[in-house]
Chains A and B, each alone.
Chain A
Amino acid sequence: MRGDMLRRDMDSTSDNIVEIRNLDFSRGMRKIFKGLNVSIRRGEVTAIMGPSGTGKTTLLRLITRQLIPDKGEILVDGVDISTMNQTRLYELRQRFGMLFQNGALLTDLSVFENVAFPLREHTMLTNRLIRHVVLTKLHAVGLRGAADMMPAEMSGGMARRVALARAMVMDPEILIYDEPFVGLDPISMGVIVRLVRRMNDALGISSILVSHDVDEISSVSDCSYLISDGKVAASGSPDELNRASSDVVRQFMHGMADGPVAFHYQAPDYAEQLLGRDAE
């Protein structure tokens, strides 16, 4: 009942399901975001890209309020999530599904129970129905036969596929993927890329995808944001990004070593460090 009320409160005519406005966020002395603006359109697959350490995972954690911004607003369906109390936040989170970078499966539960976990916590479904739903989701990621395995018995790629099944078991409205393609073999990757696209279109959900894989992102996303130096460096469709003239975008999209984004972390002069006075 409360969930329905919240849903009605949040129903917005806006095309954007998530809107980030003037976001500032720091970790210690390091500024991760400086006035970041991002709009996630309803019903689309939106990709967040950027070099390592630019804060892509941090951004996902901010969108789901696992972290609180220093400044700025994060609106989900028009409601600022930083003002929500825990009850409303949990109601909102039931509309989210999130795939963590490392899978984050509950290690004391079997694969089946991991996928069934949200259903057992939030619904009154019978065991028979739960079994049907869980096996359907596991079948979608190709792991119906692994239902009785424990997470410790699985490879990293398999664990991530189970985590994907768990993320979609409640049929969420917003699916968030943190590096979904890492550690997958080419066959699994192809299946998962198609699954992401198909689920988004068939169920009419919105997907947010963080990844480094430019080729996979290009094949699955409707819109991409490239984040660099705490801000959006470029945004648009994959074709638009590929044609962009900006040095940062070209360097990232084409994987070039030279460009505005330094490959080496800030360090003293190489020769001086090797041969200078401190060498001994």
Chain B
Amino acid sequence: MFRELYLTFRHFVRTFGALTLFLLEILKDTPYVFFRRFRLVVYQVYNAGAMSLVIIMVCGFFVGGVLALQGYANLTKFNAEDAVGTFAGFALVKELGPVITALLFAGRAGTALASEIGLMKATDQLSAMEMMAVNPVKRVVVPRFIGGVIAMPFLAAIFSAIGLLGAHLVGVGLLGIDVGAFWQQMQSVIEVKDVVEGIFKSAVFGLIASLLAVWEGYNAIPTAEGVSRATTRTVVITAIAVLITDFMITAAFL
């Protein structure tokens, strides 16, 4: 049993080391791709960001609505239903916006990235690039990574904004909370540092989700089963990594 634990730990350390080296290789090529091949980056921002907008907006709206419902149901017991705006705002800006966006991003854009790169590997497209003296990390991986990192904070901001709209429509429109109290309390309680925390989290989650997606795709076993497994692992590992990181960042900002 100890041997199994040891082997698992060793495997984890090796994978983590390889992932770190992969990240360094990506970061090394990032300035070149960003400044010299910006068109590739723009396309990937569109691919990862714009194509995820619908799911982000729909989910954001209903999460905001649920927060208003739950907040109202509980706060009304203490005659504090006017604080529903503050409650929804805090939850969305600091926690649910970045976290749920990262999970949705992993499910929509992350799986697309992992399976696309995995299939390129399985059909020898990456080998063909190598043979044409084109570095596939630079040409395929880096633009997708940068695209994801740029897109994530914007998606999280849109998620939070649409979520607040949902909370407003449910809280003010449906439950009859005073509109002035809803927004004024939120404005006076939520500070710039809370918004910064949310932006920081979404940037870190964007890095994690994009890195894990391109890593899993690039290292997929080049078969149908291998690509499918890489796609699944992208979602599972990203979810775990995002939640653990969220805990650490929240603790650091307290």
Q: Which of B95-103, B132-140, B208-216 contacts A (4 or more CB under 8 A)?
A: B132-140
Interface presence of B185 (CB below 8 A): no
Q: How far is the CB of A269 from chain B (nearest CB, A)?
A: 32
Q: Is the CB of B125 within 8 A of A93?
A: no
Chain B 114-150 per-residue mask, 1 if CB under 8 angstroms from chain A, else 0: 0000001001110111111111000100000000000
**A97-124, CB < 8 A from B:** 98, 100-102, 104-107, 117-118, 121-122
Could you show 18 A-B contacts with beta carbons less than 8 Å apart?
Answer: A61-B127, A66-B130, A66-B131, A86-B135, A93-B130, A93-B131, A93-B132, A93-B133, A98-B128, A100-B127, A100-B131, A104-B123, A105-B128, A106-B125, A106-B128, A107-B125, A118-B132, A121-B133
Give every chain B residue within 8 A of A117 (Cβ-Cβ). Answer: 132, 134
Bound-state CA distance A105–B127 (Å) is 11
Q: Is the CB of B125 within 8 A of A121?
A: no
Q: How far is the CB of B42 from chain A (nearest CB, A)?
A: 15
Give every chain A residue within 8 A of B130 (Cβ-Cβ). Answer: 66, 93
Across chains A and B, which 5 residue pairs bring their CB atoms closest together, nearest first? A104-B128, A104-B124, A90-B133, A93-B133, A98-B131
Q: Pick the contact of B134 from A98, A121, A163 — CB < 8 Å?
A: A121
Give every chain A residue within 8 A of B135 (Cβ-Cβ). Answer: 86, 90
Bound-state CA distance A262–B135 (Å) is 41
Q: Is the CB of A96 within 8 A of B125?
A: no
Give every chain B residue within 8 A of A166 (Cβ-Cβ). Answer: 132
Bound-state CA distance A90–B132 (Å) is 8
Please tell me the size bucket of the interface on B.
Answer: 10 to 19
Give every chain B residue within 8 A of A66 (Cβ-Cβ). Answer: 127, 130-131
Give every chain B residue within 8 A of A100 (Cβ-Cβ). Answer: 124, 127-128, 131
**B128-175, CB < 8 A from A:** 128-135, 139
Please tell me the size bucket of the interface on A.
Answer: 20 to 34
Q: Is the CB of A104 within 8 A of B127?
A: yes
Q: How far is the CB of B24 from chain A (nearest CB, A)?
A: 15
Q: Is the CB of A102 within 8 A of B133?
A: no
**B5-34, CB < 8 A from A:** none
Give every chain A residue within 8 A of B132 (Cβ-Cβ). Answer: 93, 117-118, 121, 166, 170
**A14-52, CB < 8 A from B:** none
Give every chain B residue within 8 A of A121 (Cβ-Cβ). Answer: 132-134, 139
Q: How far is the CB of B123 from chain A (nearest CB, A)?
A: 6
Give every chain A residue within 8 A of B120 (Cβ-Cβ). Answer: 106-107
Bound-state CA distance A101–B134 (Å) is 19
Chain A 245-268 per-residue mask, 1 if CB under 8 angstroms from chain B, else 0: 000000000000000000000000
Interface presence of A64 (CB below 8 A): yes
Q: Is the CB of B133 within 8 A of A91?
A: yes
Bound-state CA distance A91–B125 (Å) is 19
Q: Pick the contact of A94 from B125, B129, B133 — CB < 8 Å?
A: B133
Give every chain A residue within 8 A of B131 (Cβ-Cβ). Answer: 64, 66, 93, 96, 98, 100
Q: Is the CB of A104 within 8 A of B125?
A: yes
Q: Which residue of B lies closest to A101 (CB)?
A: B124
Give every chain B residue within 8 A of A91 (Cβ-Cβ). Answer: 133
Q: Is the CB of A102 within 8 A of B124?
A: yes
Give every chain B residue within 8 A of A98 (Cβ-Cβ). Answer: 128, 131
Bound-state CA distance A101–B128 (Å) is 11
Bound-state CA distance A226–B77 (Å) is 86
Task: Point out which of B120, B123, B139 has the most chain A C-beta atoms below 10 A from its C-beta.
Answer: B123
Give every chain B residue within 8 A of A96 (Cβ-Cβ). Answer: 131
Q: How far is the CB of A210 from chain B (nearest CB, A)?
A: 14
Given A106-B125, A107-B123, A163-B128, 6 further pairs, Cβ under 8 A: A91-B133, A100-B124, A106-B128, A107-B120, A121-B134, A122-B133
Give every chain A residue within 8 A of B127 (Cβ-Cβ). Answer: 61, 66, 100, 104
**A48-104, CB < 8 A from B:** 61, 64, 66, 86, 90-91, 93-94, 96, 98, 100-102, 104
Give every chain B residue within 8 A of A118 (Cβ-Cβ). Answer: 132-134
Q: Which residue of A lies closest to B139 (CB)?
A: A121
Q: How far is the CB of A165 from chain B (nearest CB, A)?
A: 13
Q: How far is the CB of A102 from chain B (nearest CB, A)?
A: 6
Bound-state CA distance A179–B187 (Å) is 69
Give every chain B residue within 8 A of A90 (Cβ-Cβ). Answer: 133, 135
Q: How far is the CB of B195 from chain A (nearest CB, A)?
A: 37
Q: Is the CB of B134 within 8 A of A102?
A: no
Q: How far is the CB of B16 from chain A (nearest CB, A)?
A: 24
